[in-house]
Amino acid sequence: MSGEYRCGDDAVQVWILHYQGERWKWRGGLERWKVGKGSGWLPNSRILAIPGMSMKSAWNSPAGSGYRGEANQATGHRVWLQRMYDVIGDIHGCAEELAELLERLGYVQQSGVFRHPSRKVIFCGDFIDRGPQIRDVLNICRDMCQQQSALAVMGNHEWNALAYHTADPLQQGEYLRRHTEHNNRQIAQTITQLSSAELQQALDWFRTLPVSLELPELRVVHACWDPVDLQKLQLAGVELGWMSDQYLQQAARSGTQLFDSIERVLKGPEMRFPDGITLTDREGMVRRKGRIRWFDGPEGLSFADYMFPGLAIPEFVSAVVPDDVRPCPYGADERPLFFGHYWLRDRVPAPIRGNLACLDYSVARDGLLTAYRYQGCGPLVASDFVTVPRRSAVPV
Ligand SMILES: [Mn+2]
Please say if the pLDDT value at position 58 is more than 70. no
CA of 160 to the centre of ligand 1 (A): 10
Which pLDDT value is given to residue 38?
Answer: 30
CA of 156 to the centre of ligand 1 (A): 5
**CA 265, chain centre distance (Å):** 12
How far apart are the two ends of the chain, measured CA to CA in Å? Answer: 60
Please say if the pLDDT value at position 241 is more than 80. yes
CA of 91 to the centre of ligand 1 (A): 10
CA of 12 to the centre of ligand 1 (A): 29
CA of 4 to the centre of ligand 1 (A): 43
CA of 360 to the centre of ligand 1 (A): 8
Could you read off the pLDDT of 68-109 as tens digits, one per residue? 334 444 444 444 445 578 999 999 999 999 999 999 999 999
Q: Supply the DSSP symbol for 292.
A: B
Confidence band of 39 (pLDDT split at 50, 70, 90): very low
Please say if the pLDDT value at position 15 is more than 50. no
- Cα dihedral 58, 221, 130, 139 in deg (nearest 10): 70
CA of 93 to the centre of ligand 1 (A): 13
Q: What is the mean pLDDT of residues 22-28?
A: 43
Least confident of 4-18, 81-95, 223-237: 4-18
Q: Report DSSP letters for 319-356, one per residue.
A: -B--TT----PPPTTSPPEEE--S----SS---SBTTE
CA of 178 to the centre of ligand 1 (A): 18
Q: Which helix (H) or strand (E) holds 183?
A: helix 181-193
CA of 242 to the centre of ligand 1 (A): 20
Please say if the pLDDT value at position 60 is more than 70. no
Query: What residues have their beta carbon closer than 5 A to ion ligand 1?
Result: 126, 155-156, 341
Which pLDDT value is given to residue 348?
Answer: 97
Confidence band of 275 (pLDDT split at 50, 70, 90): confident
CA of 282 to the centre of ligand 1 (A): 13
All domains in the chain, ordered by first residue: 12-83 (no CATH), 85-269+328-389 (3.60.21.10)
d(CA 362, CA 340): 10
Could you read off the pLDDT of 347-369 as tens digits, one per residue? 999 999 999 999 999 999 999 99
Q: What is the mean pLDDT of residues 117-128?
A: 91
Could you read off the pLDDT of 300-341 as tens digits, one per residue? 999 999 999 999 999 999 999 999 999 999 999 999 999 999
| H helix intervals, 45-155 | 55-60, 95-104, 134-146
